[in-house]
């Protein structure tokens, strides 16, 4: 009989290349999960990946914008059949007031359909090329660091969590893997039209730019986004003395942590920073892995940790992966919370302290000199597995 269709596809695209935090989220969820599936190659790939990773029932959600007549109806039937093939449920919606000239209304109608169901987690098929197009769209309109980094691997929209496991992959890789597995998909011929800005960027700007530039343009944009994600949000404002706290989704926690201020985390934890004077005896008596002192190293920020990132605790023989350290030291915190655990960093993004671990090597306070006292209220963050 052979391996299931989804397993064959995953072997082709290599799951270790997917977004690690998203993979962990899909594998760890205990509730039914949904996939936004149009029938195109990226959403078909998202459906197969989710079916392979999830240990819970999967539902394919298909929204018919009713803009392409018979082709739209055929898309819906294709997704219905795909759901049967992979053992997933199927739900369909239609736009009651189709408007070909308004891309924003079309997106809002689709999101309203996706968010009306009981599924907290919804998987999308966005890939690296989508990320590059979004970057250019937002750059042209003027955007914050957060906006330029979209689409994010994980972000919360109201009561729903959007997951994007395919972001590291290029569209051509996804289509090649589908072809190898003899998996068909639907082609939307309107993608070749230049009615919308995204299509013009995809069909005109990026090809022209690639002719001018000798290096891979999309890969360059992705590297830029990766660097921006490591820059603490609010760094520009902090340099001007304007404190601003900002949280983006679940795994992209970011914000300024001013001395004498509190930073409330999306799931209930609280980080507090206080100006202090280093007193070695007092520190030894009162410190814990959730209450520490570091030397005053300038403005402090909070960000999420990156997959594969390493951390060197004070007095440790060397660095280790953050994920391994959290798994060992924060076992009473649910994995889905550990996946976006906060990290206190300096203005360059260098880790200074991770709650639950010892302070980073080289950050210890010096007796008699200005210091920063950091407190993490762990009681509100101990969210055990359901």
CA nearest neighbour of 275 among 293, 253, 256: 293
Q: What is the pLDDT of residue 246?
A: 33
276, 371 Cβ separation under 8 angstroms: yes
| Alpha carbon of residue 22 to chain centroid | 7
pTM for the predicted model, two decimal places: 0.62
Spatial separation of the C-alpha atoms in residues 137 and 334, rounded to whole Å:
36
d(CA 179, CA 156): 33
Predicted pLDDT at 253? 52
pLDDT score, position 228: 77
Q: What per-residue confidence (pLDDT) applies to 241? A: 37
The contacts of residue 252 (CB under 8 Å, 6+ apart) are 146, 149, 152, 154, 155, 229, 303, 304, 340
Residue 308 CA to residue 313 CA, distance in Å, equals: 16
What residues contact residue 240 under an 8 Å CB cut-off, 6+ apart? none
pLDDT in tens, the chain (386 residues): 577 889 999 999 988 899 998 999 999 999 999 999 999 999 999 999 999 999 999 999 999 988 888 888 999 999 999 999 999 999 999 988 877 767 778 888 899 999 999 899 999 999 999 999 999 988 887 776 777 888 889 888 878 899 999 999 999 999 999 999 999 999 887 777 777 788 899 999 999 999 998 888 898 888 888 877 766 544 444 433 333 333 333 334 556 777 776 777 766 678 888 888 777 766 677 777 888 988 887 888 888 887 788 999 988 888 899 989 998 988 888 777 777 788 898 877 789 999 989 999 888 888 778 888 898 886 443 433 33
**Tokens standing for 245?**
């706290």
Structural domains of the chain sorted by starting position, each given as residue range(s) with its CATH number in brackets: 5-228 (3.40.50.620), 235-381 (no CATH)
Beta-ladder partners of 59 = 34, 89
Can you give the pLDDT at residue 275? 83
pLDDT at position 93 is 93
């Amino acid at each position: 009989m052979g391996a299931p269709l989804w397993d064959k596809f995953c072997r082709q695209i290599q799951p270790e290349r997917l977004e690690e935090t998203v993979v962990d989220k899909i594998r760890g969820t205990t509730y039914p999960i949904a996939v936004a599936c149009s029938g195109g190659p990226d959403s078909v790939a998202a459906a197969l990946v989710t079916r392979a990773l999830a240990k819970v029932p999967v539902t394919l959600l298909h929204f018919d914008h009713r803009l392409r007549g018979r082709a739209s109806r055929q898309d819906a039937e294709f997704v219905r059949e795909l759901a049967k093939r992979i053992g997933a449920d199927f739900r369909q919606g239609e736009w009651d007031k189709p408007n070909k000239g308004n891309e924003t209304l079309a997106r809002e109608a689709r999101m309203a359909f996706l968010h009306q169901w009981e599924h907290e987690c919804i998987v999308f098929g966005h890939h690296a090329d989508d990320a590059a197009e979004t970057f250019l769209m937002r750059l042209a309109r003027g955007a914050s660091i957060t906006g330029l980094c979209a689409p994010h691997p994980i972000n919360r929209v109201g009561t729903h969590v959007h997951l994007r496991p395919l972001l590291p992959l290029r569209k051509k890789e996804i289509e090649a893997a589908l072809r190898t597995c003899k998996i068909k998909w639907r082609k939307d011929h309107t993608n070749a039209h230049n009615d919308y800005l995204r299509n013009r960027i995809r069909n005109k700007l990026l090809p022209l730019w690639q002719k001018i530039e000798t290096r891979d343009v999309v890969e360059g944009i992705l590297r830029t986004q990766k660097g921006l994600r490591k820059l603490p949000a609010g760094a520009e404002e902090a340099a001007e003395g304007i404190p601003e706290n900002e949280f983006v989704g679940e795994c992209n926690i970011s914000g300024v942590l001013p001395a004498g201020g509190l930073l409330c985390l999306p799931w209930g934890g609280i980080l507090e920073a206080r100006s202090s004077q280093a007193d070695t005896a007092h520190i030894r008596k009162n410190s814990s892995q959730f209450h520490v002192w570091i030397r005053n190293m300038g403005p402090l920020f909070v960000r999420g940790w990156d997959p594969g990132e390493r951390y060197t605790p004070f007095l440790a023989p060397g660095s280790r992966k953050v994920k391994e350290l959290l798994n060992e030291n924060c076992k009473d915190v649910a994995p889905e919370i550990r996946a976006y655990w906060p990290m206190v960093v300096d203005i360059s993004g260098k880790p200074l302290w991770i709650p639950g671990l010892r302070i980073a090597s080289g950050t210890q306070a010096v007796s008699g000199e200005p210091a920063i006292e950091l407190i993490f209220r762990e009681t509100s963050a101990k969210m055990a597995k359901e």
